[in-house]
A = this chain, B = another copy of it.
Amino acid sequence: MIIVLRPEASEEQINHLVEKVKKLGLTPHISKGTERTIIGVIGPEDVLRVTPLEVFPGVERVIPVLAPYRLVSREFQRKDSVVEVGKGVRIGDKKVVVMAGPCAVENIDTLYEIAKEAKKAGAVVLRGGAFKPRTSPYAFQGLGEEGLKHLAQVGKDLGLVTISEIMDPRDVELVAAHVDILQIGARNMQNFNLLKEVGLTKKPVVLKRGLSSTIKELLMSAEYILAGGNFNVILCERGIRTFEEFTRNTLDVSAIPSVKMLSHLPIIADPSHAAGKWGLVPPLAKAAVAAGADGLIIEVHSHPEDALSDGAQSLLPSNFSNLMQELRILVKAIGREI
């Protein structure tokens, strides 16, 4: 932690700070510059971080030196984490894992139809929302438990790993009983009680980046889950909110290599929610994989005209199949498989 003092800071104010720092068990290091005095503080920053040094008289700015996350950091674990999600599927390994399926589970027949096509094309994880976070209270809110059962059934019959979103800490047990991977959506990335609850299970979790969350905040939310004891976390870049209006969100493709620099956790991308337009999904999927993504989660629907949610960004099975063929060639060129 570095404390930058105001030009007019008095000796008394500096001493007051130095004492405070020492009382916290840390070692202050004073550098007097021509225009400013700086106090470097040696020792674990966690103790300091909760002390509002900015309000001490004479302080201009406080600059943290260490990252606020620990367990998720590269420094905590040098080598890449690989998360096993069931049926031999491993995320963070050489294989790029593709998850596909409808935005929402609507009925079991449509889900079967989509899942079969997705599997044929190469997807190994089946996605499908049973609890849907919808901006409008009047929009379709998902089938709930029934949707989870459909997902579990289809996953079992076709040998696909399953993933579904969880929105409520009260539903953790229910969702965990039916699906292989819990998904925490962008709007719940800082639903801290949900993070804590999910941290108490051992279930793999896909944690999506919030619409306006920094990479650091994404890592801090993951830290909540790891701190609870659950290290099976997969991060997901799904687009951030910017001023651009042509796309639904802006896929922050830089987040993928940035996360790889800062953390050992695997990261996948969701080009469907980022784009908001199915025509942009294939180029964004390819960009994410080229940037190092460990997987993709893609919305596929056999009858997007009848989809109850997000039809506009869903690929038809035929388009998904074409994309998978292109990805198969692309991943080879970067030394991976699909």
Enumerate chain B residues within 8 angstroms of A191, measured Cβ to Cβ. 167, 187-188, 191
A94 adjacent to chain B (CB < 8 Å): no
Scoring A33, A34, A245, A254 by chain B CB atoms within 10 A of each residue's CB, the highest score goes to A254
State whether A220 touches B332 (Cβ < 8 A).
no
Q: Which residues of B contact A2 (CB under 8 A)?
A: 2, 38, 63
Number of copies: 4
Q: Is the CB of A31 within 8 A of B34?
A: no
B-binding segment of A41-49, A111-119, A173-181: A41-49
B250 and A250 contacting across the interface, CB-CB below 8 Å: yes
Q: Which residues of B contact A31 (CB under 8 A)?
A: 29, 31, 40, 42
CB distance from A87 to the nearest CB of B (A): 28
A256 and B284 alpha carbons, distance in the complex (Å): 10
Residues from chain B with a CB closer than 8 A to the CB of A255 are: 244
Cβ contact within 8 Å between B35 and A38: no
A305 with B29: CB separation less than 8 A: no
Cβ contact within 8 Å between A280 and B257? yes
Taking A46-B138, A50-B140 as contacts, is the C-beta distance between A214 and B246 under 8 angstroms? Answer: yes
Q: Is A289 an interface residue (CB 8 A)?
A: yes
In whole angstroms, what is the CA distance A231 to B254 when docked? 32
Q: Let me know if A56 and B169 touch, CB within 8 A.
A: no
Most buried by B among A69, A193, A256, A326: A193
A168–B193 CB distance below 8 A: yes
The contact of A246 among B46, B215, B286, by CB within 8 Å, is B215
